[in-house]
Structure 1
Amino acid sequence: MTEPALRKDAELNRQRLMAAGREVFARRGLDATLNDVAHHAGVGVGTAYRRFANKEELIDAILEQQVGEIERILRAALAEPDAWKGLVMYLEGLLAMQAKDRGIAQIQSGRRGRREKYDWQRDRLAPLVNELADRGRAQGVLRPDATGTDLIFLQIALTAISETVADRTEPGILPDVGQLYRRYLWIALDGLRARPEGVSPLPVGPLTTEETHTLLGPPQPGADTR
């Protein structure tokens, strides 16, 4: 084969592995192995390790795709003139992604991922989430004490519902409950909305963006994880 043909073949295998990785991690979470991904992609394990030195490299590549998708959701939400509609658009769009993709849910909740990639993701997305909340407060549709970090923790909490449903639903025992998280999203949205008569004071203050990402990010080198 010529060099251009080899490069094209290598890139096709890389894309095939990334697509398979997203499918495998979506179903099984990030504990699935690179061997599992190679098998699902229909390529040899050696081919997988030539394209990605280890599973973490594959996860990083998939994360870059996913962050691009989340950024598009955020920018579409910010382009919506009505701040409340934009906020709902963001939460519904992100939660729909995470409900069907266990891997991205684990990364977004800080349970997996490398520190440098996590910091890169934070720097790219956090300003947009904060802008969404700032705009909601400025338009008077979001309760005045709600922040961007509240939106982050809310989506983590609602994603846990999707994970519980996925883990415990048995075919033929329950109706399709894959959309159950949306019930609790709408209950939560009522709690986020500003009201003319005022809202109940929150018993605990919010974390800052930096505190949130420190809490949710991978452990610092040398940290005691017991």
Structure 2
Amino acid sequence: MARRAPRYAEAERNDRALLEAARKVLAVDGAHTSVAAIAARAGVGIASLYRRYRTKDELFQHLCALSLGQWIQAAEEGLAHDDAWEGLVHYVTAAIEFSAGALGPLAGTIEVTDEMAEKFTRSDELTKALVERAHEAGVLRADATTVDISLLVEQLGKSSLAEQFEARGRTDLAEAASNARHRVIAIALDGLRPGRDPLPGTPPGPGLLAERW
């Protein structure tokens, strides 16, 4: 067992690097992203990658499951907050920061595994609990739904200005871009407070996000 531990730790490091790389490459290339581009961005050898994952789909399924695991962790941490609003803010901010919706382009292109389905259900349940608790506490506008929150996270979690500057080598603007992103997140969160004008249109159906897959 001791001999396997270093390999397990290395696999975890590679997973984190691959997930971060996939999010950044998918933001640019979409569903046509190549495994080679992800591996190069992550600094992982393509040969070792295919020794672990038999196909491109298997890799993407694994990365989706990992990403859903991060959604779940962020939601559980949010629910651990005593304050309903602070818990919701923690969840939204954390999910945006790790670009939770960046794997959206894969929707409909790969088969949903049992693990993905189970984690999606768990993530949805936890997000609903956060939203219901915030509604009951009167700190979240009454017409904001769980799907609204998930869509907000996905949209704000896509390729950020900081990542765009990073891709161009403009590290001198990284701090300013990060500050701008935090301001936009704060503006969006403020829009979730009660007392605002009613939201336009009808609330999105609970299956809207799942239907993509």
Establish whether TM, by shorter chain, passes 0.5: yes
Alpha-carbon spacing, 1:168–1:213, altered in 2? closer, same or farther (3 Å): same
Q: For the structure 1 residues 95 and 8, does the alpha-carbon distance in structure 2 shift closer, same or farther, using more than 3 Å as the test?
A: closer
Aligned to 2:181: 181
Which of the pair has more CA radius of gyration?
A: 1
Separation of aligned partners in 1, 2:123 and 2:36:
28
The runs of 5 or more residues in structure 1 that have no matched partner are: 99-103, 219-226
Aligned residues of 2:141 and 2:194 also touching (Cα < 8 A): yes
Identity of aligned residues (%): 25
Task: Tell me, yes or no, if the aligned pair for 2:53 and 2:59 is still in contact at 8 Å.
Answer: yes
Give the TM-score of the pair, scaled to structure 2.
0.77
Q: Given the superposition, is the C-alpha separation of residues 92 and 204 from structure 1 closer, same or farther in structure 2, using an over 3 Å criterion?
A: same
Following the alignment from structure 1 to structure 2, what is the Cα–Cα distance between the partners of residues 172 and 78?
35
For each residue in 1:83-128, what CA deviation from the matched residue of structure 2 results, as whole angstroms up to 9, or x when unmatched?
1111111111111111xxxxx5322xx2115341454442121111
Structure 2 CA distance for aligned equivalents of residues 15 and 172 of structure 1 = 28
CA distance in 2, matches of 1:16, 1:81: 32
Structure 2 gaps, min length 5: none
2:202: which partner in 1? 205
Matches within 5 A, 1:1-226: 14-15=11-12, 17-29=14-26, 31-34=33-36, 37=39, 40-41=43-44, 43=45, 45=47, 47-98=48-99, 104-107=100-103, 110-113=104-107, 114-117=110-113, 119-160=117-158, 162-168=159-165, 170=168, 171=170, 174=173, 176=175, 177-195=177-195, 199-214=196-211, 217-218=212-213
**Could you say what the CA RMSD is over the residues aligned between the two structures, in angstroms?**
3.2
C-alpha distance in structure 1 between counterparts of 2:180 and 2:8, whole Å: 39
Number of residue pairs aligned between Structure 1 and Structure 2: 200
Once residues 173 and 35 of structure 1 are traced to their aligned partners in structure 2, the CA distance between those partners, rounded to angstroms, is 25
Partner in structure 2 of residue 224 of structure 1: none
